[in-house]
Structure 1
Amino acid sequence: MPRYFFHTQNGDRIRDDQGEDLPNVDAAREEAVTVLGEILRYRSAGFWDTGVFSVIVTDAEGVTVVSVTAKASQEAPQGWALADADE
């Protein structure tokens, strides 16, 4: 079973030297989202201090296989708008 490593970055880089055995990249993607969610839940309001938090997943050779990032902002994403209730 392949081993994947879940590194984090929020201004500081935290390297995962242990990794986790998972059946495939799809499972690594799921785990990356879970890890990011747990970090955001743990950091809570402190997330606003860093503004961006990433989980970067690499394989045993160090090749990035997936990355997921959460970004905090006072601005709405470009192109975002609420649909009018009458439409």
Structure 2
Amino acid sequence: MPRYFFDIFSEQATRDEEGEELADRETAREVAIRIAAELLPGHSRQLARTGRVAVTVRDAEGAVVHELECRLTTRSPAASPR
């Protein structure tokens, strides 16, 4: 089975050196989504501060096969016409 690595970009970059053996790229994508969902509640300050939390999936050769990025975009309310 192929090995995939899940790097996390939040308060600091964390490179996955161990990886995980998974059936295929689609399964690696599902794992990345699960990791991001677990990260967000604990990284809300980071998301508010930098506007970004991400999980990058690499294959055994180091090629990025998925990148899941959560961004916070804040918009000011438009001035209401009078």
Same fold (TM over 0.5): yes
Partner of 2:80: none
Where does structure 1 differ by over 2 angstroms across 4 or more consecutive aligned residues? 44-47
Structure-2 change in CA distance of 1:12 and 1:72 (3 Å): same
Tell whether 2:39 aligns with 1:5: no
- Percentage identity across paired residues of the two chains: 36
Q: Are residue 59 (structure 1) and residue 68 (structure 2) matched?
A: no
For 1:53-79, what per-residue CA distance to the aligned partner results, in whole angstroms no more than 9, with x for missing partners?
A: 110000111010110100012129xxx
RMSD: 1.7
TM-superposed deviation, 1:46? 4.1
* Other-structure match for 1:68: 68
Distance in 1 (alpha carbons) for counterparts of 2:68 and 2:49: 19
Determine the C-alpha separation between the residues in 1 that align with 2:61 and 2:43.
30
State the AA in 2 paired with 1:13: A
Equivalences, count: 76
CA distance in structure 2 between the aligned counterparts of 1:73 and 1:18, rounded to whole angstroms: 33
What does 1:1-87 align with in structure 2 at a 5 Å threshold? 1-10=1-10, 12-75=12-75
Distance (Å, rounded) in 2 between the aligned partners of 1:43 and 1:13: 13
Letter in 2 for 1:17: E
Which 5+ residue runs of structure 2 have no aligned equivalent? 77-82
- After TM superposition, give the deviation of residue 47 of structure 1 in Å: 2.3
State the alpha-carbon separation in 2 of the partners of residues 46 and 13 from structure 1.
Answer: 12
Structure 2 residue identity aligned to 1:5:
F
